[in-house]
């Protein structure tokens, strides 16, 4: 099982230093990946949580130059409100510059107002998401000169150079908690990226699609909140003592989860780094 860190790229505590210090701490402590969150143009009515947010790809580019080993992920890029040809070029470049460390989790988004602000149709976003995933695959696997003809996206003899370092391009995981998101992940991607769900719900969902996987590699990466507490919340996984959290992770691993990326319940940078250190020193050794 691998573990990543969701960086404080949004909210009142999001600053250049908090992002950079958390990324460097995660790499120093031995986490596998760091993750940024994505929104571009939320209307005020939808911006309570993500109004103050650092742009995802720009931030990852900055962090690629500041780190050496740790993988660089987006959780999750709202793909249908962007041109996938531009995203394919940007992430291919980032993969080349970072030495092949990029991971993309992509979702369809939830803010109709954000789609309107960016000039994209909210109501056909699912169909455009499917085609955009095909565009990325075609770009990253098709050599240096690529053409594509679909319902929503078309281009002729595009030169994509430099290509991604990773063969076939960065891994693509589909984000979302619904059965539709999981099936989209099975059909078009390398994995599924849900938020925290009850362990039996995760197990049941994966069992329902296992015949479709045909034994091919398929990653499950769950996004969760981590809180060390003497009074754990009964309805919140990964809240409690190191022993309780390790036991919960064992259950999720047995259910089919391969990666968990954590945001720490912390108000200060010191609290955040102590949370990460406690996980690596007291929780992770119980899982090996």
Of 3, 21, 1, 2, nearest to 268 by C-alpha is 21
* CATH at residue 99: 3.20.20.30
pLDDT band for position 218 (cuts 50, 70, 90): very high
Q: Which residues contact 198 (CB under 8 A, 6 or more apart)?
A: 237
Domain count, the chain: 1
Mean pLDDT confidence for 153-159: 96
What's the rounded Cα separation, in Å, for the pair 52 and 254? 37
Which of 124-133, 178-187, 206-215, 231-240 is predicted least confidently?
A: 231-240
pLDDT band for position 99 (cuts 50, 70, 90): very high
What's the rounded Cα separation, in Å, for the pair 84 and 112? 19
Mean pLDDT confidence for 49-64: 97
Instruction: Tell how far CA 225 is from the center of its chain.
Output: 14
Q: Which residues contact 242 (CB under 8 A, 6 or more apart)?
A: 228, 278, 279, 282, 283, 286
* Percent of the chain with pLDDT strictly greater than 70: 100
Q: Give the β-pairing of 71-78 and 239-240.
A: unpaired
pLDDT band for position 231 (cuts 50, 70, 90): confident
Of 38, 43, 42, 33, nearest to 10 by C-alpha is 38
Task: Give residue 11's pLDDT.
Answer: 95
Task: Give residue 234's pLDDT.
Answer: 75
Q: What Rg, from alpha-carbon coordinates, does the chain have?
A: 19
Residue 219: pLDDT over 90:
yes
Residue 96: pLDDT over 90:
yes
Q: Which is more confidently placed, 142 or 95?
A: 95
Q: Which is more confidently placed, 144 or 248?
A: 248
CA distances from 98 to 71, 76, 138, 177, 200 (A): 9, 19, 21, 30, 37
Q: Which residues contact 93 (CB under 8 A, 6 or more apart)?
A: 162
Is the previous residue joined to 162 through a cis bond, with omega within 30 degrees of 0? yes
Task: Give residue 142's pLDDT.
Answer: 82
Token pair of 30, please? Answer: 């031995």
pTM above 0.85, yes or no: yes
Q: Are 137 and 88 contacting, i.e. CB atoms less than 8 angstroms apart?
A: no
pLDDT band for position 143 (cuts 50, 70, 90): confident
What's the rounded Cα separation, in Å, for the pair 4 and 18? 16
Average pLDDT of every residue of the chain: 96
The domain containing residue 221 runs over which residues? Answer: 2-287
Task: Give residue 228's pLDDT.
Answer: 94
Task: Give residue 277's pLDDT.
Answer: 98
Question: Model confidence over 69-88: pLDDT tens digits?
Answer: 999 999 999 999 999 999 99
Residue 206 phi, psi (nearest 5): -70, -35
pLDDT band for position 131 (cuts 50, 70, 90): very high
Residue found by looking up tokens 């660089």 in the block: 72
Mean pLDDT confidence for 220-225: 98
Task: Give residue 214's pLDDT.
Answer: 85
Residue 233: pLDDT over 90:
no
């Amino acid at each position: 099982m691998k573990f990543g860190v969701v960086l404080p790229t949004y909210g009142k505590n999001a600053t250049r230093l908090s992002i950079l210090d958390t990324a460097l701490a995660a790499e120093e402590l031995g986490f596998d990946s760091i993750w940024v969150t994505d929104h571009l143009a939320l209307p005020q009515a939808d911006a309570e949580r993500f109004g103050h947010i650092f742009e995802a790809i720009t931030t990852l580019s900055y962090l690629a130059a500041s780190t050496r080993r740790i993988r660089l992920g987006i959780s999750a890029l709202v793909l249908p409100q962007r041109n996938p040809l531009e995203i394919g070029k940007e992430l291919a470049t980032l993969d080349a510059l970072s030495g092949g460390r990029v991971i993309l989790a992509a979702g369809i988004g939830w803010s109709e107002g954000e789609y309107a602000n960016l000039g994209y149709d909210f109501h056909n976003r699912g169909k455009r998401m499917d085609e955009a995933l095909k565009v990325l695959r075609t770009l990253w696997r098709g050599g240096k000169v690529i053409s594509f003809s679909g319902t929503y996206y078309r281009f002729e003899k595009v030169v994509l150079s430099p290509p991604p370092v990773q063969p076939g391009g960065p891994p693509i995981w589909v984000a979302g908690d619904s059965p539709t998101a999981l099936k989209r992940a099975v059909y078009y991607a390398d994995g599924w990226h849900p938020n925290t769900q009850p362990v039996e719900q995760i197990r049941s969902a994966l069992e329902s699609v296992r015949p479709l996987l045909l034994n091919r590699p398929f990653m499950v990466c769950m996004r969760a909140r981590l809180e060390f507490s003497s009074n754990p919340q009964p309805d919140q996984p990964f809240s409690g003592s190191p022993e309780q959290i390790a036991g919960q992770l064992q259950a999720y691993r047995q259910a089919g989860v391969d990666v968990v990326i954590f945001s720490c319940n912390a108000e200060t940078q010191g609290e955040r780094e102590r949370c990460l250190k406690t996980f690596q020193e007291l929780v992770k050794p119980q899982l090996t």
